Amino acid sequence: MRITVVGLGKIGLPLAVQFAGLGHHVVGADIDDRVVGAVKDARPPFPGEPGLAQRLARVVGSGALDATPDTAAAVFDSDAVVIVVPLFVDAQGTPRFDAIDAATEAVGHGLRPGTLVTYETTLPVGTTRNRFGAHLERVSGLRPGADFFLAFSPERVSSGRVFGDLARYPKLVGGVDEASTRRAVAFYEAVLEFDERPDLAQRNGVWDLGSAEAAELAKLAETTYRDVNIGLANQFALHADRLGVDFQRVIEGCNSQPFSHLHRPGIAVGGHCIPVYPWLYLTGDPDATVVRAARAANAAMPEHAVARLAESYGDLAGATVVVLGACYRGGVKETAFSGVFAIVEALGRRGARVLVQDPLYGPGELEALGLDAYAGGCVDAAVVHTDHPEYRTLSRHELPGVQVVLDGRGVLDPPRWSGAVLIGLGRGGAVAVP
């Protein structure tokens, strides 16, 4: 097949490489000339995706993958178009469609009869049919479900393990009509390969969910479930601290039977997905009180954590506090919706001098994010925000003078912090390490 992938970001580029690796001719379209140039030169435009550099070099070298800034021209020569352009939300959680609307416009200008168009960007339910279907029809003059095929298939992968996730998880698909669904199922069966999964209720592969709306809801449901579960775990953890109970042991006990799936509590919920997609769900179901309450509970965790630190340390005015980790997730160089910003603000409101350290970011990169970098020296307190593996062997000697440490991710090794007060969320309160 001839395929265009629109959006060569951390998900779109690995998808394009995956498709090309199975013998299809793929063109990646992106409005960023630097990204297009990097792909043409077989250079990953972003770091940290295992296997991407080698696979990219192979498919570019063979001529199976090319890149262009001209989306319409690429679409005109394609049998299938996959759109993976970000949908942003503002500070109030309202979707901002500017980027993906512009991509849809460009696709419409190149659309021909018989082409399959699938969206993989997470969307509010009904967007594929009502917003983008109408937009494509208006621009191209072609009717979705009659002149071209239109479907939704959510991306279900995470940065740092995209290729593994593509094989491990079923590909969920739904079209705006039966013909679109059939075409989308056939397309993904031709461009993906799946692991054997005896644990699944049906064979791993492409799963027809029946409609675009069902596929859209599936992505919002599985990610919103995680936010709600984390919110519940965070409230349990805060209560456990008041009781003097180690909630981690409670989780292990509860999850020993198959009807409990408690998630881990933590200092913040960050990334492109979990703190964002509940808002997309709420655009279609604004009365979902459980979803809204969980989002509020998780958004409040950085403030709760800083308050816990202040309870043990005392007045933070004038104190030097280092926040360990800017990334929203350990091992992933990304700060989208990272809790580090809320933690720094909460500490700053208490008058602390706040510094940030992250093994994946240099001092200049942290400064560019508006964060003051820690370059060593004495500190009064520390907050672990990110579960980087490097922090598992961190000790008090590497933070001279530190008196109180709040471990927001449960990654520190307590014996290494002898002489300091160690606080863990849901760990039963502050403990002076002998």
Model confidence at 31, pLDDT cuts 50, 70, 90, reads: very high
Q: Please state, in angstroms and rounded to a whole number, the distance separating the CA atoms of residues 74 and 67.
A: 9
Q: Tell me which residue of 355, 361, 350, 411 sits closest to 379, measured CA to CA.
A: 355
How many Å apart are CA 207 and CA 188, to the nearest integer?
10
Take residue 390 and report the two structure tokens written for it: 């490097």
Q: Give the up-direction half-sphere exposure of residue 246: CA atoms within 13 A in the CB hemisphere.
A: 6
Query: Which CATH superfamily includes the segment(s) 244-434?
Result: NAD(P)-binding Rossmann-like Domain (3.40.50.720)
| Helix, strand, or coil (residue 358) | coil
Angle separating helix axes 52-62 and 33-40, nearest 10 degrees: 80
384-430, pLDDT tens digit by residue?
999 999 999 999 999 999 999 999 999 999 999 999 999 999 988 77
40 contacts: CB under 8 Å, gap ≥ 6: 60, 66, 67
- Per DSSP, 265 falls in state P
Do the two domains 2-214 and 244-434 of this chain adopt the same fold? yes
Residues marked active site are found at 219, 273
Q: For the chain, give every domain's residue range.
A: 2-214, 244-434
CB atoms within 10 A of CB 33: 10
Q: List, for residues 115-162, the tens digit of each pLDDT value.
A: 999 999 999 999 999 999 999 999 999 999 999 999 999 999 998 899
pTM for the structure as a whole: 0.92
pLDDT in tens, 231-265: 999 999 999 999 999 999 999 999 999 999 999 99
Summarised one tens digit per residue, pLDDT across range 280-289 is 999 999 999 9
Three-class secondary structure of residue 116 per DSSP: strand
Specify whether the CB–CB gap between 31 and 69 falls below 8 A. Answer: yes
The fold for domain 2-214 equals Rossmann fold (3.40.50)
* C-alpha span between 424 and 347 (Å, rounded): 17
| H-assigned helices in 288-330 | 289-299, 301-313
